[in-house]
Amino acid sequence: MQKIIILDFGSQTTQLIGRRVRELDTFCEILPYNKFPHNDPEVIGVILSGSPFSVYDKEAFKVDLSEIRGRYPILGICYGAQFMSYTYGGKVEPAGTREYGRANLQWMEKDNPLFKGFDDNSQVWMSHGDTITAIPQGFKKIASTEKVNFAAYQADGEPLWGVQFHPEVFHSTQGSLLLKNFVVDICGSRQDWSAASFVDTTVAELKQQLGDDRVILGLSGGVDSSVAAVLLNRAIGKNLTCIFVDHGMLRKNEFKNVLHDYECLGLNVIGVDASEKFFKELEGVTEPERKRKIIGAGFIDVFNEEAQKITDAKWLAQGTIYPDRIESLNITGKVIKSHHNVGGLPEKMHLQLCEPLKWLFKDEVRRVGRQLGMPEHLITRHPFPGPGLAVRILGDITPEKVRVLQDADDIFIQGLRDYKVNMPAEQAKKVLAAGSPLEYTDNGEVAVSLYDQIWQAGVILLPVKSVGVMGDERTYERAVALRAVTSTDAMTADWAHLPYDFMAKVSNDIINHVKGVNRVCYDISSKPPATIEWE
């Protein structure tokens, strides 16, 4: 499979570059800046990402490009462009103030192959603290902006470019065109990476790899493990046994509904209701990380117990996806939340690990799910944390609190699904997950539910009671917070600007129907500095 290598110098947008390349039906790998696969015959081009560092910082990530330059086309983005310029004798200096925001290109060489099809004042997105003040000898300037003299350059007569703007972000309006020019025209991608080709090759590989072996897979109800299960089911059928554990902190009726979905998909699935065990172990625990650890460990115990009944199992399959594995250059090295609940399973179980989705980004997993004929409501489900509602109940957990939260959450989520906004098809395609079917209205617009417009939503049960009045009665009951965010990858998120009439209705419905709640708030914090979950 042909591939583009993206060398990661630690930028927040490196994964986004990867996703943009994949959108061009081209496979790519994101690797740490110093791990270029020199002996891989499938590489057709290289992209150098941005970085939080300046090229002259002592700790800046530096790499020897001598074996890459001349062998492959190279595109340097932001720091990548500055690094190449600096390495080959140009000058990079602090820009005075950080250059951040929209800018428009002015051309020195508009017919350059990297910019084929670009408009006169094409808008780009800048975000850098340093700027290139001189390019190396033998390099030529292609474009500038009002504030940035060398917005784009090329090594004359060589397939090596640098751009100081970010073509991967949405606000660079022709950024995808630039990447297409690079990946398809310049690097020669055959564009043969697609959901259909992935399913065909992966099913064949799984058959080969697994033969008649028995495989166990832990289902969570989420998109990733579900797609992994259906893919494996296609390859090995009844030799796959799925285990779905209910830790008691799932959403309302989720265990029952999802089990039913799985059975309809023909999966061989064992549902284990272990809620009592988890409630007991969590009793009185208030510290968020301890809750996570207890649920993580308890999950492993329950899963293990079930898995051991399948005595001849040789493999443990997991729905690990590419972003879980990218060896990200965590500059600070600090753990904010421990997210990986099932880490440690294979070592304990002496099983070999099978991860059929390990090369896919989330949107690709959804495409594969559609390709496999899975129902849309399973494919477009919002992400949900492994420890479930436990990290949405601040303070200690009781079955009663879970019941209150489940009821409130159900009203909110159902409300988001029911509230539809009509918009032009072009806009709908941008809002919806790639490949989603479009629901046309009579006037040719597309109806998009609030649920499908946002990344994730949920309700948080707060550890406070407040005074209210219902009829003639004074009440003293709980407050809940609604949380809905837009995001592309959960690394950053913005609070969703939900319509007031919708919020009014949800608030009314929750207060009228959920016993124990008399106040509803809306969380208007973005990530960073807040996180998506409250714990």
Q: Which is nearer to ligand XMP, 13 or 189 (CB)?
A: 13
Which of 8, 130, 523, 533 binds ligand XMP (CB under 6 A)? It is: 533
Q: What x-and-dash track marks residues 316-355 binding ligand XMP by CB under 6 A? A: ---------------------x-x-x--------------
Clarify whether 78 is annotated catalytic: yes
Task: Select which of 78, 187, 242, 354 is catalytic.
Answer: 78
Clarify whether 242 is annotated catalytic: no
303 in helix, strand or coil?
helix
Task: Give whole-number Cα distances, 420 to 239, 380, 423, 445, in Å.
Answer: 42, 16, 10, 12
Cβ of residue 495: shortest distance to ligand XMP, in angstroms?
A: 12
142 in helix, strand or coil?
strand
Q: Which is nearer to ligand XMP, 95 or 295 (CB)?
A: 295
Cβ of residue 425: shortest distance to ligand XMP, in angstroms?
A: 28
Contact (CB, 8 A) for 316 and 216: yes
Clarify whether 28 is annotated catalytic: no
Asked whether the bond before 52 is cis by omega within 30 degrees of 0, the reply is no
Contact (CB, 8 A) for 217 and 317: yes
Task: Tell me: does residue 381 bind ligand XMP (CB under 6 A).
Answer: no
Task: Tell me: does residue 456 bind ligand XMP (CB under 6 A).
Answer: yes
Q: What x-and-dash track marks residues 487-526 binding ligand XMP by CB under 6 A? A: ---x------------------------------------
Q: Strand ranges (DSSP E) for 357-430?
A: 420-423
Contact (CB, 8 A) for 258 and 223: no
Task: Tell me: does residue 527 bind ligand XMP (CB under 6 A).
Answer: yes
Q: Which is nearer to ligand XMP, 395 or 516 (CB)?
A: 395
Residue 526 has which token pair?
A: 């973005």
Distance CA 245, CA 264 (A): 18
Which of 288, 383, 468, 516 binds ligand XMP (CB under 6 A)? It is: 383
Angle at 238 between CA 232 and CA 240, to 5 degrees: 45
Contact (CB, 8 A) for 379 and 451: no
Strands 74-77 and 43-48: parallel
Task: Select which of 28, 29, 128, 168 is catalytic.
Answer: 168
Distance CA 185, CA 115 (A): 11
For residue 524, count other CB atoms closer than 10 A to its CB.
11
Task: Select which of 128, 166, 254, 306 is catalytic.
Answer: 166
Task: Tell me: does residue 242 bind ligand XMP (CB under 6 A).
Answer: no
CA 506 to centroid of chain Cα atoms: 28
Which of 298, 385, 457, 478 binds ligand XMP (CB under 6 A)? It is: 385
Which of 30, 74, 402, 532 binds ligand XMP (CB under 6 A)? It is: 532
Q: Which is nearer to ligand XMP, 2 or 320 (CB)?
A: 320
Asked whether the bond before 529 is cis by omega within 30 degrees of 0, the reply is yes
Cβ of residue 383: shortest distance to ligand XMP, in angstroms?
A: 4
Interaction site with ligand XMP (CB under 6 A)? 292, 337, 339, 341, 383, 385-387, 391, 456, 490, 527, 531-533
User: Where in the sequence numbering do the catalytic residues fall?
Assistant: 78, 166, 168
